[in-house]
């Protein structure tokens, strides 16, 4: 009986500690059971999420699926990203088996995934670094890219298809020939105080970097905004929700009023590098 009593006491302590931690986490950081961005990440006191229409890109990003709490970011080859101080959560989306799904690719992929889910194929298009525009609607018709020297053109080599496999082949082709340098040119600059979900901090170059705003909240009393940021990186890796290295009490949220430079765990952007599709 004594052993049984001690066992019950021990189990009770474990549950008490677990649920105490869960309650604290729900209040300040995250909901242990949430499996989307909106469900997982609770808001600091005084902030609210503005309602987004169900068919919007903002709603889509807020509802990106997340891996269970504590999951590791995996590289394309299945190995683990060693630095856990970079991210708070991992997006539960496949990234392929090639070293292609990097920073700008993840941004383009999320934008394309949204339109693909809506079957708005005509809105899925990106430019290669050489300026050649690649429309998914043309890819669906069976056309593919032919590259000879500096010349890029369409050739019809396949049967029409809008399957996910066809879509992913399109994306990997875009990943191969586009990047931060080309994507930066496609986006328009905006003021950080006008930030919206889906906006992108981007520095074009070789290398460059890009992170995407996946959630925004506002304090109605003073109109101050906060945001969540997501990225992929090099080598190709799963999309991750970034920690805030500047403010551990606010992390993973970032203040939108960050001044002239925004420091993220693996890159620093200037306020002038915020852009929009």
Give me the sign of the Cα torsion angle 250, 255, 260, 263.
positive
pLDDT tens profile 160-218: 999 999 999 999 999 999 999 999 999 999 999 899 999 999 999 999 999 999 999 99
- Two tokens, residue 267: 């890159």
The 10 Å Cβ neighbour count of residue 147 is: 12
Return d(Cα 207, Cα 246) in angstroms, integer: 24
Mean per-residue pLDDT of the chain: 91
Q: What percent of the chain has pLDDT over 70?
A: 89
The 10 Å Cβ neighbour count of residue 2 is: 6
Give pLDDT, residue 131: 96
Residue 141 CA neighbour count, 13 Å, CB half: 11
Residue with tokens 């941004």: 107
Is there a contact between 59 and 52 (Cβ–Cβ < 8 Å)? yes
Is there a contact between 213 and 258 (Cβ–Cβ < 8 Å)? no
pLDDT tens profile 135-173: 999 999 999 999 988 899 999 999 999 999 999 999 999
Is there a contact between 256 and 193 (Cβ–Cβ < 8 Å)? yes
* Helical spans, DSSP H, in 1-96: 2-28, 37-40, 57-62
Give pLDDT, residue 29: 55
Give pLDDT, residue 133: 98
Q: What phi and psi, each to the nearest 5 degrees, are found at residue 110?
A: -65, -40
Q: Is the pTM of this model over 0.75?
A: yes
Q: Within the chain, what is the greatest distance between any pair of CA atoms?
A: 82
The answer, yes or no, to whether residue 22 has pLDDT greater than 80, is no
Return d(Cα 70, Cα 81) in angstroms, integer: 13
Q: What percent of the chain has pLDDT over 90?
A: 86
Nearest alpha carbon to residue 86 among 210, 245, 258, 262: 245
Give pLDDT, residue 204: 97
Q: Mean pLDDT lowest for which of 25-34, 139-148, 230-239?
A: 25-34
Interval 18-29 mean pLDDT: 40
> Nearest-5° angle of CA 170, CA 171, CA 176?
100
Return d(Cα 194, Cα 256) in angstroms, integer: 9
Q: Provide, for the chain, the percentages of residues in helix, strand and coil under a 3-state DSSP scheme, each rounded to the nearest 5.
A: 30, 25, 40
Is there a contact between 59 and 53 (Cβ–Cβ < 8 Å)? yes
Interval 258-265 mean pLDDT: 97
Q: ω into residue 207 within 30 of 0, thus cis?
A: yes
Give pLDDT, residue 101: 98
């Amino acid at each position: 009986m004594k052993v049984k009593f001690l066992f019950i006491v021990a189990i009770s302590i474990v549950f008490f500690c677990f649920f105490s931690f869960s309650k604290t986490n729900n209040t300040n950081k995250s909901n242990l059971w949430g499996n989307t961005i909106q469900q997982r990440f609770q808001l600091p006191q005084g902030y609210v999420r503005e309602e987004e229409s169900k068919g919007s890109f903002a709603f889509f990003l807020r509802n990106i699926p997340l891996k269970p709490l504590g999951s590791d970011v995996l590289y394309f080859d299945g190995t683990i990203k060693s630095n856990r101080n970079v991210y708070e959560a991992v997006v539960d989306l496949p990234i392929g088996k090639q070293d292609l799904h990097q920073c700008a690719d993840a941004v383009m992929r999320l934008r394309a995934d949204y339109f693909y889910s809506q079957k708005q194929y005509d809105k899925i298009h990106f430019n290669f670094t050489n300026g050649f525009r690649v429309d998914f609607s043309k890819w669906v018709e069976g056309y593919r890219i032919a590259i000879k020297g500096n010349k890029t053109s369409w050739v019809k080599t396949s049967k029409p298809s809008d399957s996910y496999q066809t879509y992913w082949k399109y994306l990997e082709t875009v990943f191969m020939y586009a990047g931060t340098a080309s994507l930066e040119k496609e986006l328009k600059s905006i003021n950080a105080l006008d930030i919206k979900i889906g906006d992108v901090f981007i520095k074009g170059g070789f290398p460059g970097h890009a992170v995407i705003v996946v959630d925004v909240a506002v304090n109605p009393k003073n109109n101050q905004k906060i945001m969540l940021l997501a990225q992929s990186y090099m080598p190709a890796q799963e999309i991750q929700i970034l920690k805030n290295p500047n403010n551990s009490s606010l992390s993973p949220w970032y203040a939108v009023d960050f001044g002239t430079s925004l420091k993220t765990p693996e890159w620093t952007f200037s306020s002038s590098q915020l852009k929009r599709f």
